[in-house]
Amino acid sequence: MTLTKRTYKTTLVLDTRDQEKSPSELLEDVKTVLATLDANVTREEDLGKRDFVRVTDRNFTAGQYFELTIEAPTNFAQDVQEKFRLDKVVYRIIVQS
């Protein structure tokens, strides 16, 4: 049985506070977790550190943004949200099909 794969545009916001690794090393860790979901990253772009428009925590006013193009199974959107739900490094993840 073959799984149908779709292309997703995914935006990640990483919380790099109190991290000893660089943002690119943190992204590599995230990509290894994405590989467990049978997702292949075809393109990545570092959008840099950006201020949040609406700040929910006054001690955390900016995050490191990355944009990824991913080929993954059709249930990727739900699976990736659940996988990173309790992760402290991934602050937000936005998946568009």
pLDDT of residue 62: 93
Quick one: pLDDT at residue 3? 66
Domain boundaries, the chain: 14-96
The pLDDT score that the predictor gives to residue 97 is 85
Q: In the prediction, which pLDDT does 4 show?
A: 86
pLDDT tens digit sequence for 46-89:
999 999 999 988 999 999 999 999 999 999 999 999 999 999 99
- Statement: residue 1 has pLDDT above 70: no
pLDDT band with cut points at 50, 70 and 90 for residue 2: low
**15-33: buried (b, 16+ CB within 10 Å) or exposed (e) per residue?**
bbeeeeeebeebbeebbee
CATH architecture designation of domain 14-96? 2-Layer Sandwich (3.30)
